A and B are shown apart, each in its own frame.
Chain A
Amino acid sequence: MKRSLLAGAVAALAFSLAPPAQAADPVKIGFMAELSGPQAALGQDMLDAFMLVVDQNGGKLGGVAVNVLRRDSQLKPEVANQIADELIEKEKVPIVAGITFSNIMMAVTKKLTTAGVVVVGANAGPAPLAGAQCSANLFVVSKQNDQFAEAMGKYAVDKGYKKVLAMAPNYQAGKDYVGGFKRVYKTPLADEIYTPLNQLDFSAELSRIAAEKPDAVYAFYPGGLGVSFVRAYQQAGLIGKVPLLTVSTTDGTTLPALKDSALGVMLSSAWGPDLPNPANQKFVTDFEAKYKRTPSEYAAQSYDAALLIDSALRKTNGSTENKALTAAMKAADFKSVRGSFKFNNNNFPVQDFYVFEVAKDAKGNANIKTVSKQLTAHKDAYGAECSLK
């Protein structure tokens, strides 16, 4: 009697100490982007594309239920910092995706990766994180910031432009984009003009361009600045006369505001809505059907980020254990909307880059049309500085 009681007690104790059966707890994924304020256009595109994948899979990625925790970083590094703290300590997320802007990325990446969180960057790709500060826990699905510029540089070389004038806003990204262009386009630039970040009116610079008549103008003006700049360029009558080569200036988020005034502008990117692979066609059709607008490259990158996480979780059978997860991510075994995709040693993409032109599409709207492939299976310039293999 006593022995069976004892046996029962021991058994009960053993059961209570044993780990619970593998409950299907949803995998928490933190999604950090700018979701409020004027810069939310990009963050919203990224979130919508990410959720498109999750919703199409019935709230799952890689066969496991996921809980996407949306967090608004408000373009303030100290807010992003706090969100990182919350995601690491309170929510204990294994994966953080999104991150639109380079300064936010620089503020939080180290904190997240050191805490063992896998960061899947879907837009920003600052140079230090591709070089000396790379991490085995960081996977940037979009690009390294300089690469669009390098592709456009190659285009300028191919076209034989002799006299090129560069313009960008006077901040870090502006200088990086011009630097990337110069890395490939070796002819000394006619001039490099860095305009104040909050400049309203570009008449002074455009008058100079009209007077100096360069072979081409290379420009980087993101967001609202891009709308003002391209408009002013067109109104000054320069579009037909001096080719405008841009990066991240005319894209899915600014084109609706520019419409026909941007016709004829050249841009370089890794993605365009008319890339002829099945994954992309499905993506564009589904996105337009659900959200009633054309996706931008930010949406495309975020879609790929979701696909990457989906493929990785499938490989690990839903486990978020760090070593297995990072190995599965590195394999990048998914059909990207950009066609071919694999990771470089520093976990930045090796991909193709194209030059596009803004032209009327089949429906008569101003849209982005592929012109030529400029760089094939291109690696970024900082991989050698990274100690990862």
Chain B
Amino acid sequence: MSLFLSQLLNGVQLGMLLFLLSAGLTLVFGIMNFINLSHGSFYMVGAYLAAATLARTDSFLLAGLAGIGGAMLLAFAIERLALRRLYARDHLDQVLATLGLIMFFNEAVRMIWGSQPVFTAQPSWLNGSVELIGFSYPSYRLMIIAAGAVVALGTYLLIHKTRIGMLVRASSTHPDIVGALGVNARLLNSLLFSVGAGLAALAGWLVGPIVSVQSGMGDNVLILALVVIVIGGIGSIRGAFYAALLVGLVDTMGRAYMPQITRQFFERSSADAAGPALASMLIYLFMALILAVKPNGLFPVKR
């Protein structure tokens, strides 16, 4: 029973991780209608900057500041210089442009920090584990769950309960009117883009110590994030949150119990072959299924 509970917690933890990774993407996607494939690159840049700062200052919090701040500045610059011309263009151009950015960042990071994975430490005050009902769970993972919840609440409040959030939502559907009211829509867009990148970098900072910080680490994460936000409904923070939890749970429980399940139906060797193959395809199958039934995702944003 305690195994089941710890797997459940694992699912929630993975879900929160996925949410941290996808929050920024769904914002940019949904509000600005901009396909930002370089989201994974800002995740990577955040992780690298945080790692470098941590190595120098030994302060986890300072590392976070550096990672998030650095990525936001970078994003702001890139948005002003290049990407803003693409808002009016169709998705294809946006896909291409951000694919080019991925290539650029992967190589740049490799040129600066080398191709080998970089070391980042967990802060010592989060190093141990906590005794829960019948099993112990790493404290760092619990922190991730907490962080995910905080970010979810924070972005929801920001978008739905503050004036800035209202302006952002308004300018996504009626940019002219918002402009006529004297609000600088272009600045708003740049800020929003940087916030999206900042969220990605936040994920990079927190997730860095438990994965491998290396060139290309964002590519995989990008696909996962895209799947999550498509399932949840593009543009919806709530959708991303629930979708992330759902995907996290389905994926974890699937991996934990798939062998048992397939062994019931097939004989051992083909079950052992089919199981892992199914597990890797699982979230894509899940997404295809959801899209077949609800083409706009689970919580589509009403336009």
The reply to whether A and B meet directly (CB within 8 Å) is yes
Residues of A within 8 A of B (CB): 36-41, 44, 170, 191-201, 203-205, 207-208, 210-211, 223-228, 231-232, 235-237, 253-254, 256-259
Say yes or no: A208 contacts B3, CB within 8 Å. Answer: yes
Collect the chain B residues with CB atoms within 8 Å of residue A36's CB.
Answer: 107, 110
5 example contacts (A-B, Cβ-Cβ < 8 A) are as follows: A194-B276, A200-B211, A210-B6, A210-B135, A235-B210
Interface: B156 (CB within 8 A): no
Interface size class of B (residues with CB under 8 A): 35 or more
Interface: B173 (CB within 8 A): no
Say yes or no: B14 contacts A203, CB within 8 Å. Answer: yes
Instruction: From the candidates B106, B212, B279, name the one contacting A224 in the complex (CB within 8 A).
Output: B212
> Given the interface contacts A223-B212, A227-B211, does A201 sit within 8 Å of B17 by beta carbon?
yes
> Given the interface contacts A41-B117, A191-B259, A259-B119, does A204 sit within 8 Å of B212 by beta carbon?
no
Say yes or no: A208 contacts B256, CB within 8 Å. Answer: yes
Among B6, B115, B116, B255, find the residue whose CB has the most chain A CB atoms closer than 10 A: B116
Closest to A198 in B: B220
Interface: B209 (CB within 8 A): yes
> Given the interface contacts A207-B256, A235-B138, A256-B119, does A225 sit within 8 Å of B279 by beta carbon?
no
- Summarize B's interface: helix, strand, loop or mixed: helix
Interface string of B126-147 (1 = CB under 8 A from A): 0101000001101011000000
Closest to A226 in B: B212
Say yes or no: A170 contacts B276, CB within 8 Å. Answer: yes
A223–B135 CA distance with the chains assembled, in angstroms: 30
Instruction: From the candidates A41, A196, A237, A258, name the one contacting B279 in the complex (CB within 8 A).
Output: A196
Among B7, B106, B140, B255, find the residue whose CB has the most chain A CB atoms closer than 10 A: B255
Interface: B36 (CB within 8 A): no
Interface string of B216-244 (1 = CB under 8 A from A): 11001101100000000000000000000
> Given the interface contacts A207-B10, A228-B211, A236-B138, does A192 sit within 8 Å of B272 by beta carbon?
yes
Say yes or no: A195 contacts B255, CB within 8 Å. Answer: yes
Say yes or no: A257 contacts B3, CB within 8 Å. Answer: no
Instruction: From the candidates B13, B259, B280, name the one contacting A197 in the complex (CB within 8 A).
Output: B280
Collect the chain B residues with CB atoms within 8 Å of residue A254's CB.
Answer: 116-117, 212
